[in-house]
Amino acid sequence: MESPQLLSVDELLDHAYEIFLELAADNLSAEQIECFNAEFEERGALGDSTPEDDWQEYVDFDIDPERHVEICIGLLNEDEEFDRLFARMLLSRHPDERHCQVQWQQR
């Protein structure tokens, strides 16, 4: 049986941003949302990477770097590094696994 084609990182970035916008009001403070809205157009970014090791503490499945992607949503500084992180997300590249784990910035 042929395995399905994995989702691209661009598809996951779009999906992560949609999830972030949908859930932000329930998980971030009014101040954090105001900061995001005021500064995201100028300094905002979504970044993808291999999942950090600490995700294994939060999930009950094995994380496979080939099948999972970590996506960060935040604000960049002048060195193009995140200086404010609103959320870290763990998403599967498998098209049938649409669950998402999110670690939100503390209020």
Please report, for the domain that includes residue 17, its CATH number: 3.10.450.140
Residue 4 lies in a domain: no
The helix, strand and coil proportions of the chain, stated in percent and rounded to the nearest 5, come to 35, 30, 35
Between the CA of residue 50 and those of 6, 71, 88, what are the distances in Å?
15, 9, 12
Residue 19 lies in a domain: yes
Residue 2 has pLDDT above 80, yes or no: no
Instruction: Report the pLDDT value the prediction gives residue 12, as an integer from 0 to 100.
Output: 96
Is residue 52 very low, low, confident or very high in pLDDT (cuts 50, 70, 90)?
Answer: very high
Q: What is the average pLDDT value for the chain, to the nearest integer?
A: 94
Residue 49 has pLDDT above 60, yes or no: yes
pTM of the predicted protein model: 0.91
Residue 38 lies in a domain: yes
Residue 1 lies in a domain: no
Domain that holds residue 17: 9-52+64-104
Instruction: Report the pLDDT value the prediction gives residue 4, as an integer from 0 to 100.
Output: 78
Instruction: Report the pLDDT averaged over residues 16-39.
Output: 97
Residue 2 lies in a domain: no
Residue 22 lies in a domain: yes
Instruction: Report the pLDDT value the prediction gives residue 71, as an integer from 0 to 100.
Output: 98
